[in-house]
């Protein structure tokens, strides 16, 4: 089970990735090792272990066997070489960026990035001396090329965008970056390792907030930096320099969540599609931004690059509804928790405020609401939404 054949489906691979029951007396899930100190039978053994610190037991901060197995498995699922587990998604993306930019370098960042990514660019990268340019998520290859400078080292993508869900032409943008020797990093949290095979589209480094769908139960934090062969060493080394580590317990839970990821995603997607269709038919709704639905402006890119979608999307209320009414709608929902960090089994809702989160102006008129459609019965969720619409009628 340690080896995954390429002809197996993602579902089967997700079930078996990183498991080796015969290594652990037949135990189905790799056991949980809690360790800081690792001791060695001799100085020679210690010196030998140090050479393989990222693959074998050397010091607890660098991980233990189940962590190494999980890092390899999850990278293989996405078509990468190896991943690096860190404490959370933000640690993953900051480590990945710092592995490839230094003061006086330039980075191109999608204007649709996750809020804390922008915070890192504004409050760390800029004072550190890195030049940051935000480009429009739907930019063409030609316009992106115009933004490239001699000192551009990283192209940072996130597809779909956080909150507004524009799809990026990942293949095209990575192609022009590659031609200039620029490293491409993509936040693939929405896509997941099984929903978007980012490495096949030209991505060098893929970020996952495993906190979300991989963990899947809203009870742990974990970040993964999946790398192709060329990017692995600099990323691993930067994680070491910054002192990042992943808790053995959280890796255990993420590995357990991975087993049910394909069936959970299929259910999230099916319920989301039903709710999207019904929202599109409501007079209160102006737009729905769900990349896996044919109404999405870049639906063709989703079809080309993704094999799964999930339960996360936003919709826009008709202009006649003000912010107070949007908040009243959100408050009236009983089956949707009001909060952050989607990807668990339960439904969530959030009023979206894009203030300070976009460099380029957006043409959005109405109030935006983000939904995470969970694993509850889809009709129950819809009934709840219908009664909340009545509240603002
Ligand atoms: C949640 C999220 C992160 C950060 O993950 P944490 O584990 O909460 O640090 C990064 N990127 C995206 C797109 C996210 O949604």
Would you write out the chain's pLDDT as a tens digit for each of its 393 residues?
A: 444 455 789 999 999 989 999 999 999 999 999 999 999 999 999 999 999 999 999 999 999 999 999 999 999 999 999 999 999 999 999 999 999 999 999 999 999 999 999 999 999 999 999 999 999 999 999 999 999 999 999 999 999 999 999 999 999 999 999 999 999 999 999 999 999 999 999 999 999 999 999 999 999 999 999 999 999 999 999 999 999 999 999 999 999 999 999 999 999 999 999 999 999 999 999 999 999 999 999 999 999 999 999 999 999 999 999 999 999 999 999 999 999 999 999 999 999 999 889 999 888 999 999 999 999 999 999 999 999 999 998
Nearest protein Cα to ligand 1, atom 5: 89
Bridge partners (DSSP) listed for residue 185: 156, 205
Q: Identify the CA nearest to 180 among candidates 143, 135, 150.
A: 150
Bridge partners (DSSP) listed for residue 227: 82, 205
Pocket test for ligand 1, best of 85, 87, 88, 90 (most atoms within 8 A of CB): 90
Active site residue 102: no
Burial class (CB in 10 A: 0-12, 13-18, 19+), 61: middle
Ligand 1 geometric centre to CA of 184 (Å): 18
Active site residue 187: yes
In eight-state DSSP terms, residue 302 is H
From first CA to last CA, the distance across the chain in angstroms is: 56
Helix axes 323-332, 378-391, angle to 10 degrees: 140
The CA distance from 224 to 89, in Å, is 7
Ligand 1 geometric centre to CA of 17 (Å): 23
90 in ligand 1 pocket by Cβ < 6 Å? Answer: yes
């Amino acid at each position: 089970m340690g080896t995954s054949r390429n002809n197996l489906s993602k579902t089967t691979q997700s079930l078996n990735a990183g498991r080796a029951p015969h290594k652990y007396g037949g135990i189905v899930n790799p056991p949980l090792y809690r360790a800081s100190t690792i001791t060695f039978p001799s100085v020679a053994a210690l010196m030998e272990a140090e050479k393989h610190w990222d693959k074998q037991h050397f010091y607890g901060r660098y991980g233990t066997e189940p962590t190494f197995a999980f890092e390899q498995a999850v990278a293989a699922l996405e078509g990468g070489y190896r991943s690096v587990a860190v404490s959370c998604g933000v640690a993953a993306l900051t480590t990945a960026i710092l592995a490839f930019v230094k003061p006086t370098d330039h980075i191109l960042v999608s204007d649709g990035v996750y809020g804390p990514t922008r915070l890192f660019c504004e409050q760390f990268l800029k004072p550190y001396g890195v030049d940051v340019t935000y480009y429009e998520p739907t930019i063409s290859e030609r316009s992106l090329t115009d933004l490239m400078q001699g000192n551009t080292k990283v192209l940072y993508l996130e597809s779909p965008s956080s909150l507004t869900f524009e799809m990026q032409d990942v293949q095209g943008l990575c192609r022009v970056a590659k031609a200039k020797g620029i490293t491409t990093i993509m936040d693939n949290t929405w896509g997941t390792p099984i929903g978007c095979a980012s490495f096949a589209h030209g991505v060098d480094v893929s970020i996952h907030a495993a906190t979300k769908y991989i963990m899947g139960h809203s009870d742990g934090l974990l970040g993964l930096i999946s790398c192709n062969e060329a990017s692995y060493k600099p990323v691993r080394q930067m994680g070491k320099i910054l002192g990042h580590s992943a808790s053995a317990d959280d890796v255990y839970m993420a590995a357990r969540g991975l087993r049910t990821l394909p069936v959970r995603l299929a259910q999230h997607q099916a319920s989301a599609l039903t709710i999207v269709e019904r929202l599109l038919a409501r007079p209160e709704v102006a737009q729905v931004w769900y990349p896996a639905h044919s109404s999405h402006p870049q639906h063709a890119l989703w079809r080309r690059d993704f094999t799964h979608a999930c339960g996360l999307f936003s919709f826009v209320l008709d202009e006649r509804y003000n912010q107070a009414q949007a908040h009243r709608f959100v408050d009236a929902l009983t089956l949707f928790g009001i909060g952050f960090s989607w990807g668990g089994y339960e439904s969530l809702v959030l009023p979206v405020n894009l203030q300070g989160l976009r460099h380029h102006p957006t043409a959005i008129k109405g109030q935006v609401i983000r939904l995470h459609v969970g694993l509850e019965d889809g009709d129950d969720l819809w009934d709840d939404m219908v009664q909340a619409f009545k509240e603002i009628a």
